[in-house]
Chains A and B, each alone.
Chain A
Amino acid sequence: MKLFSTLILMLTTLNTFYSQEYTFDPMSDWVTFKDVDNVLIKGYDGAEIIIESSDYDDEDHDDRSKGLKLVIVDGKSDNTNLGLSVINEQGRVIITQVKSSYNSCGSGDDTDYIIKIPSSMNVRYEHSSWSGDELYIEDISGELDVSSNYHDVYLSNVTGPMAVKTVYGTIESDFASLSQEGSISLYSVYEHVDITIPKTSSSNVKLSTTYGNIYSDLEIDVDKTKSGKTGWTGSKIIGKTNSGGVDLLITATYENIYLRSK
C-alpha cells in the first residue's frame, strides 16, 4: 500500500506539469475504457471528463512519422491527440487507446494517463493484452466493472458496487464504505487480493482460495456448515459481518486473501 500511495503521489505531482489535456461532457453515466495501458481514473466534483497525459510524446521522437497520420484499422481516430480515441454519443462513452505504448526497442514508453471523471460515474475497464502494468481507480462512488488479464488493480476510496477480476495481477482496495446497492466481487487467479473495509461494514462474505490461505481481522460470523477446506490446500469461508448485508465475494485461486478492517 505504501508503494501504491507513493505512485499516486507521483502521478498527482506530475499532473502539475501537464501541458496536454482533452476535455468533454459525457453523454452517458457509464464510461468504458478499452485497452488503456497505464491509467489513474480519478473521481472529482465536476461534470466533465478530463484526460491528461504526463509524458505523451506524439511523434516528436519519431522523425519518420512527421507529416503522416497514425493508421488505425478499426475506424477509430486519435481525436484527443493523446493516443486515445473518444466516442461520446448518447448513452455511451468509450475511451480506447489507439497508439501502442510499446516501442520498437521492446519496452514500454511509460505513457501514463490521468483521467478525471465525475465521482458518481460508473466505470467499465477492459484490457486483455500484456501491455501496461497497473490500473488505479480513486474516489469513485459509482459502479466499477473491471476485467483484465495482466494488470495489477489498485482501488482507493471506493464504495462499490463492483466486479473486478484480473488473471495475473494483484487486487488491492481500500473501501471508504461498502455500498449495499449491488454485489462486490474481487477475483484474481494467480495473485493475492488484499482489501480493507470499515469495521462496521455489513456484508455476506464469501472468501475462496484453492491453493492459498485466508487472513482477516474482521469479526466474521462463519457458517460452519458451508465453510471449510476445499480440496487438499484450499479454504472457503462463508459468513456474515455485522449481521449480514451486501454480497462481498473474494477469490484468489492460487494466492492468499487478506481482508482487513479499519
Chain B
Amino acid sequence: MSPLTIEDQIIDYLNDEMSSSERTEFELLMQNDEKLRSSVSQYSQILKEVDVSPQSAPSAALQKNFDRFINSYAAGLNEGPQISQSPKTFNLMGRGFQQAAIFIIILGVGLLIGLNIKSGEIIDQYAHQQDIMMDLLKAKSTSHRVRAVNMSHQMQDKSDDIINVLLQTAKEDESPHVRLAALDALSPYKELTNVKRVIMHAASQDDDASVQIAAIQLLKQMDHQDAIQTFDHIIQDRNALNFVKDEAYSGKIHLVQNTY
C-alpha cells in the first residue's frame, strides 16, 4: 500500500466510514504495526483538535510575516546558496530547516484542508440523511417509517434533534411497529431523563402490548427505583393485559433482587 492509501484508510477509520470487514482488517494491521498505531493516534488527535478549534483567519501581522517568509524563501531558491550572506555551513542547515518547516506547514495545511473537507462532507451527509429520515417519517407506509427510524442507527452521536424526533415517534406514531422501532433506537440513550420518561410512559400507557413489553424490557435493564414505580402502576392497572402485568411483576422482581 502507498503512504497515501494508508492516510485515506486512517481517515476513513477515524470517521467510521469503513465496512465492518475493512475495519476488522485494519484493526488487525494496527495490532501488528506500531508505526501505524502511532499514526492513527496522531491523526485522531489532529481530528479532535480540528473539531474543537474555532474557525479563524490569521492576523494581518501573521499573514504579512508568512508572506515575507515565503517570498524570501523563493528568492533564496532562485539565488542559490553561494550568494548567501551567512557562513555556508550555517546557511545549509538553515535551508534544510526552512525546507523541513515549509514541508511540515504545507503538509499540515493540506491535512487540515483535507480533514475540513472530509468533516464538511460528513456534516453534509448527516444533514442529507436527516432530511431523508424526516421525509420518510411522514410517509403513509409503516415500513417506510420503520426504515426512517432505523436510519438513525447509522447516525453516531445522534443530535438532540434526532433524539427528540425519536421520542416524539415513540410516543405518537400511529403504528406500534414504528413505536417499537423508535424505542429500540432510543435504547442506547435510556439513561437520559427525557428518554427514560418516554420509556416509562410507553410501559404503562401504550395501547399496544408489544410496545409495553419492549418498554418493560428496557426498564428492567435500568436499575432505577422509578422503574419499580412504573411496574407497580402497571400491576395495579385494571385495564392492563395479564401478560403485560406478568412482565411488570418479572421486571419488579428483577430490579428488587438487583437492589438487595
Contacts and interface: CB of A to CB of B under 8 A. Distances in A.
A163 interface: yes
B221 interface: yes
A185 B20 contact: no
A160 interface: yes
Contacts of B141: 122, 143, 161, 182
B144 A145 contact: no
Contact of B146 (A181, A189, A190, A249): A249
Chain B interface category by residue count: 20 to 34
B177 A224 contact: no
Interface in A222-257: 222-225, 231, 239-240, 247, 249, 253
A224 B178 CA distance: 26
Interface of B: 19-21, 23-24, 141-144, 146-147, 150, 175-178, 180-181, 208-210, 213-214, 217, 221, 241, 243
Nearest to A210: B217
Majority DSSP secondary structure for residues of B touching A: helix
Interface in A192-246: 206, 210, 221-225, 231, 239-240
Chain A interface category by residue count: 20 to 34
The 9 closest A-B pairs by CB, nearest first: A182-B143, A161-B143, A163-B177, A223-B20, A183-B147, A183-B146, A145-B142, A163-B142, A183-B143
A87 interface: no
Interface of A: 122, 143, 145, 147, 149, 160-163, 165, 167-168, 181-185, 187, 189-190, 206, 210, 221-225, 231, 239-240, 247, 249, 253
Contact of A165 (B144, B147, B176): B176
5 contacts: A145-B175, A162-B143, A165-B180, A184-B143, A189-B213
A257 B142 CA distance: 23
A63 B22 CA distance: 74
A183 B153 CA distance: 14
